[in-house]
Amino acid sequence: MRSLVVIAVALTAGIALAPASGIARAAQATDVAALERAWKDCVREAFTHQPLGQSKAGGQRNALDECQAQEDAYVQAVMDARAIDEEEARRGGRTITARAREWAASVAAYVVDPVSSWLTILRR
């Protein structure tokens, strides 16, 4: 019985430690953060090079215009991340980690618990 529990725990831990969607989401989150930093750095740099006699609002508009490509890349990455989140929500939000936990719970409920209770009865 203990070997069955050990196998169930090992399988669950193996699945939970390296979920494919989690790795992809971490990489995507890093990309979104990097794109945001690049866009903000571009805007700051472009704003510092604006003429001194220009109004603040005009300088901000010009800086944003100069960094339009970085802004577009950042916005596209955010929209892609939201689309992935919406797809997961549509599927019920069940990631591979959640499915592994559900499987382990079902193994415990249908196999381990009855067997352990039968063994307890036999020991008495």
- The total of structural domains in the chain comes to 2
12, 2: one domain: yes
pLDDT of residue 25: 58
The pLDDT confidence band at residue 124, using thresholds 50, 70 and 90, is: confident
Mean pLDDT in the chain?
Answer: 76
37, 71: one domain: yes
Residue 72 has pLDDT above 90, yes or no: yes
User: Could you tell me the two tokens for 23?
Assistant: 């790795």
Q: Give the Cα separation of 94 and 48 in Å (integer).
A: 47
Residues 6+ apart with CB under 8 A from 100: 11, 12, 15, 16, 19
28, 15: one domain: no
Residue 3 has pLDDT above 80, yes or no: no
What is the residue whose two structure tokens read 């992935």? 84
3-class state of residue 91 by DSSP = coil
